[in-house]
Structure 1
């Protein structure tokens, strides 16, 4: 789950869960408190609507006392002047947060509370008969009083008008209602705290687990330990960050391994070049000393010594050129000069040069061209010539037959021109064939100093052909010979439609 989705869910949950739980608690506790109020104040029929209206609740609370007062005033008006009877009745009202006032004509004859509390109420008391129609529900006195007054009008035995009032302070809420509101506030706060804690734990767990893994991974990378795997446990933003960190680790590990391989190859190259240069240098030194010591005492010997020195110097120059080209290949800085070449003209010249060289080495050379005159390729003439000569020199290097033979074939294969160089050398073992284009790779048969070679000749060939957009491969049979193949895409002119 994405972090954005988690936050949206958390936001919705923070809103919905507290509301639902608060409503549920409100219903449960409301029913309980209504039942408690009914029992405590001896009323019935308390509803949520009346419970939320203090006037209605107070009116219900004093409903029974009001009926009793009305009955007492109607049947026993003499008790309305009896202080004892009035005090007993007032005690019942005090338990319901109300008190009694009794008036005879214009005189207050009984006050069931402190005079300071009753002064403002007395000033606003309705006159005899004024609240007859509303006496059951009471009359609200506003201003500083904030009281609900229920009035009972009656006649004393002597014929004087009298009024009894049940006064309830609306400003002082009954304890059960106050407790209920306090409990509700507490429950809502508790629900909010619980919901927030639960969501924080959920988000914290979803965030800290991948963060912990990434911290450990970063520590390993810092210490140079790249041999581990960071598996993302989620499909969110942190999971994507884990995958990016894992990709970075893999790339760092590949770079380290590539650097180790590069250093190893450089050491191997230096070792190979040093070894391969040592042989011609020793030969040159030996023949030069022979000339200096007068061993070459005849013109024929002198010519042979000089020719050997020249050949070994040429061999050294070839090795140095290969090293220079290898450096350019390693930094992708081979200086290509691409041109449109006629296949027949180019390979005819190439075959002519090879024929002269093979003749000097007593090797039979065959050239077969099956391509039409108009076929062209886009290539670097010098680099393709290097490819052909590197392959031929490699064949000559491992030629083990008394009469060597090399064939050059050029074929048209659809969109490509295919060049084949076949020899009758000792061949390459099947286990070595897939690796012959790797840098510094030498078959077991070529590891002696007499064969020479830096081990990068065929890797250079592969690089050049691939940079031309082509492909190179080989087939071979031991003791029979090897055939090298490479293909280069034809040049095709795109017609311009006017």
Structure 2
């Protein structure tokens, strides 16, 4: 449920529920009271009291209009007393704060109570208790024949039923107030489960995140708006965690880059420095030596440039900063093109390369042609480093599987020792026999690129000598499909 609707219903329930219970309680009280106490006689008595009050008031007003002197006439006073006697009512006539007539004997305290009743002219339902009897007070302003002011105070007994009804009304009012408080407490407690508790959990999560604990997951709970807030904050936490992870990874790569540069560049830079010093010292005193020294310096500088390029490329691949440009590619045709490109350099090293295809039909795969060419080049370069035969041979074999194809690059070189085989795709790892050659990132870069194609690369040692590097690529274009899904997701967002 939405938070807005829940708040409206809660506020309405806070008033409606106590109101309904109070109304039902009032109906029950009135019903029971009517059955056992509030009889027809009570109603008749109440009507008679009202009628007596009106009759006495009307008699006094008529006397004031016709003959004001009648107010002091004993017969008229006796008539008023008789009118009230049947209702157990009393009357006092006051002239200039002096009682000139009383229907019964009042002590001074009772007289003072009657005279001190506030606002005589509007006190229609004022009540006063005299001698264990509760009266309603009705005051009528008088003006005697000599012009003196006065008042007539009419006291009529209050029915017990009316008092009881007043007490019942007060009890019902108190009941409503108690129910209102109880309902408010119950609804607040209920809200603590659907609103306050999720907000408290969000507060705890924010505190954990602010302290650097990005593993504190934010669960979706509460009403719709709070769940949406939880989703947003959880997405923010994941993004922040990924960002920090990427930053830490970048820092690690940066440190490793600096360490690798300082280590791997030491040898070629030392060589360059030595040959330059030889030129300065006059050791290269012939044109042939000078040409040899300069060519060596050029080759070493090229090695330095290649090392730096490999380091930067791996760092970018590791941080997914290089996008792949996938194109539908006939894999067999593509491998043949690569062989034609690499063949001259391999022949110069006296290494023969060949292709053996076991594919029954053409297979079109989504490839980043430039990146995959770098994979093949790095693997072939690694094979050349370990080649210990005068006539080396590299075979590229293609075969089909249930889920895709496998490209195998098999050489007849020295092979890789079993202690080194599990680690040759780790960055900066080189076996002892190739410790001084390259940057140690060739196969690590190849692994990153193959995995960017949603493929897999691994190495095995051949029984007859040499090593095979195998690349498994799927025909369902998983990389392109993943890229398509990410693009569709971005469009929806």
TM-score normalised by L of structure 2: 0.61
Q: Which residue does the alignment assign to 1:461?
A: 446
CA distance in structure 2 between the aligned counterparts of 1:336 and 1:204, rounded to whole angstroms: 51
Q: Which residue does the alignment assign to 2:38?
A: 46
Q: Which residue does the alignment assign to 1:164?
A: none
**2:241 aligns to what SS in structure 1?**
helix
- Give 1:390 shift: 1.3
- Give 1:485 shift: 1.2
> Contact 2:404–2:472 (CA<8 Å) still a contact in 1?
no
> Contact 1:33–1:176 (CA<8 Å) still a contact in 2?
no
Report 1:411-450 matches (<5 A): 411=399, 418-423=406-411, 424-427=413-416, 429=418, 433=422, 440=427, 442=429, 445=431, 449-450=435-436
How has the CA–CA distance of structure 1 residues 346 and 6 changed in structure 2, closer, same or farther, with 3 Å as cutoff?
closer
Report 1:172-183 matches (<5 A): 174-183=162-171
- Give 1:331 shift: 7.2
Q: Which residue does the alignment assign to 2:187?
A: 199
Q: Which residue does the alignment assign to 2:127?
A: none
Q: Which residue does the alignment assign to 1:214?
A: 202
Q: Which residue does the alignment assign to 2:397?
A: 409
Report 1:335-484 matches (<5 A): 343=331, 346-370=334-358, 379=367, 381-399=369-387, 404-411=392-399, 418-423=406-411, 424-427=413-416, 429=418, 433=422, 440=427, 442=429, 445=431, 449-455=435-441, 457-465=442-450, 469=453, 471-477=455-461, 481-484=467-470
- Give 1:89 shift: 12
- Give 1:195 shift: 1.9
CA distance in structure 1 between the aligned counterparts of 2:328 and 2:186, rounded to whole angstroms: 74
User: Could you tell me which of 267, 287, 296 is aligned with 1:279?
Assistant: 267
- Give 1:474 shift: 1.4
CA distance in structure 1 between the aligned counterparts of 2:180 and 2:324, rounded to whole angstroms: 73
- Give 1:368 shift: 2.3
- Give 1:263 shift: 0.7
Render the CA deviation track for 1:340-381: whole Å, top value 9, x for unaligned: 766555433422343332333344534324457976666554
> Contact 2:415–2:467 (CA<8 Å) still a contact in 1?
yes
CA distance in structure 2 between the aligned counterparts of 1:373 and 1:93, rounded to whole angstroms: 122
CA distance in structure 1 between the aligned counterparts of 2:304 and 2:8, rounded to whole angstroms: 74
Q: Which residue does the alignment assign to 1:189?
A: 177
- Give 1:460 shift: 3.4
- Give 1:316 shift: 2.1
How has the CA–CA distance of structure 1 residues 344 and 187 changed in structure 2, closer, same or farther, with 3 Å as cutoff?
closer
> Mind listing any 5+ residue stretches in structure 2 that lack a counterpart?
51-77, 92-101, 105-139, 141-154, 478-493
**1:452 aligns to what SS in structure 2?**
coil
**1:474 aligns to what SS in structure 2?**
strand
How has the CA–CA distance of structure 1 residues 60 and 31 changed in structure 2, closer, same or farther, with 3 Å as cutoff?
farther
How has the CA–CA distance of structure 1 residues 327 and 431 changed in structure 2, closer, same or farther, with 3 Å as cutoff?
closer
For these two proteins, the number of residue pairs brought into alignment is 391
User: Could you tell me which of 217, 223, 233 is aligned with 1:245?
Assistant: 233
User: Could you tell me which of 63, 66, 87 is aligned with 1:93?
Assistant: 87
- Give 1:268 shift: 0.5
> Contact 1:428–1:476 (CA<8 Å) still a contact in 2?
no
Q: Which residue does the alignment assign to 2:26?
A: 26
Over aligned residue pairs, what C-alpha RMSD do you find?
A: 5.1
Counting helix residues as a fraction of each chain, which structure ranks higher? 2
> Contact 1:55–1:170 (CA<8 Å) still a contact in 2?
no
> Contact 1:425–1:482 (CA<8 Å) still a contact in 2?
no
> Contact 1:343–1:371 (CA<8 Å) still a contact in 2?
no
- Give 1:259 shift: 0.7
CA distance in structure 2 between the aligned counterparts of 1:99 and 1:451, rounded to whole angstroms: 128
TM-score normalised by L of structure 1: 0.60
> Contact 2:195–2:222 (CA<8 Å) still a contact in 1?
no
Render the CA deviation track for 1:396-421: whole Å, top value 9, x for unaligned: 34556787543222445689564321
Q: Which residue does the alignment assign to 2:10?
A: 10
